[in-house]
Chain A
Amino acid sequence: AQTVTQSQPEMSVQEAETVTLSCTYDTSESDYYLFWYKQPPSRQMILVIRQEAYKQQNATENRFSVNFQKAAKSFSLKISDSQLGDAAMYFCAYRSEDSGGGADGLTFGKGTHLIIQP
């Protein structure tokens, strides 16, 4: 079974600064997907960024980028120019590329609570 570990229960950053959220995972599979989701107080899960394991290039989405280290099984999220609206719980998630049988739900980490200080 796959596991996802987020070792930072809470992180705090000054507005406009850069913050990095850590995520490691354990898997025996070679092909898979990794995601970062944001869950604001409204509780809706919002996709921030995704990474295919077969791609060596790190994914970027505007102020959000990842540092994907496949050999180290590490998938950190960097948020540049932090904004007040970035405050939320951030979850790292793993999904098999092909688990077969249609059972391919996400495995989530425990989350990191990101606080943005004005």
Chain B
Amino acid sequence: GAVVSQHPSRVICKSGTSVKIECRSLDFQATTMFWYRQFPKKSLMLMATSNEGSKATYEQGVEKDKFLINHASLTLSTLTVTSAHPEDSSFYICSARVTGGFNQPQHFGDGTRLSIL
């Protein structure tokens, strides 16, 4: 149980393209999902907290207009990297927490490797 699916797993695109990454909780409902970014050989940095039906909460230094988050249902959150540039190349990982389970751990997706040429 508690499976989180992230799609796509790998994206390679040209500079200026917008890229959408999906995060789905397959066997549970997730009011809250989280988006992290991981640089090579580095730790995960929280980018934003996505709450179903409301605006995402962004961490300091994360551009809201650059990284658009939508959490329209209890099983799906999307991260759109708008007008991506090479510096946006990174590994993006989502996680989800079971609805009503504030004390529950986060379940992570497999991540998306984004490469901007």
Residue B91 is within 8 A (CB to CB) of chain A in the complex: yes
In the complex, which residues of chain B have a beta carbon less than 8 angstroms from the beta carbon of A46?
108
What count of chain A residues pass the 8 Å CB interface test? 24
Contact with A along B92-117 (1 / 0, CB 8 A): 01010000001101111111010000
Q: Do residues A44 and B111 form an inter-chain contact, with CB atoms below 8 A? A: yes
Q: Which of B103, B106, B111 contacts A106 (CB 8 A)?
A: B106
Q: How far is the CB of B53 from chain A (nearest CB, A)?
A: 11
Q: Do residues A43 and B111 form an inter-chain contact, with CB atoms below 8 A? A: yes
Residue B34 is within 8 A (CB to CB) of chain A in the complex: yes
If A102-B57, A106-B34, A109-B43 touch, does A44 touch B108 (CB 8 Å cutoff)?
Answer: yes
Number of A-B contacts (CB under 8 A): 56
Q: Do residues B93 and A45 form an inter-chain contact, with CB atoms below 8 A? A: yes
Residue B68 is within 8 A (CB to CB) of chain A in the complex: no
Q: Do residues B91 and A43 form an inter-chain contact, with CB atoms below 8 A? A: yes
Contact with B along A90-118 (1 / 0, CB 8 A): 01000000100111111111110000000
In the complex, which residues of chain B have a beta carbon less than 8 angstroms from the beta carbon of A50?
105
Q: Do residues B43 and A108 form an inter-chain contact, with CB atoms below 8 A? A: yes
When chains A and B are docked, how far (Å) is the Cα of A18 from the Cα of B93? Answer: 30
Most buried by A among B59, B103, B106, B107: B106
Q: A35-B105, A106-B106, A107-B46 are in contact. List 19 more A-B contacts (CB 8 A).
A: A37-B108, A44-B111, A45-B95, A45-B108, A46-B108, A52-B103, A91-B44, A98-B102, A102-B54, A103-B49, A104-B32, A105-B34, A106-B34, A106-B36, A106-B44, A106-B46, A108-B44, A110-B42, A111-B42
Of all A-B residue pairs in the complex, the 7 with the closest CB atoms, nearest first, are A105-B46, A45-B108, A103-B57, A108-B43, A110-B43, A105-B34, A103-B49
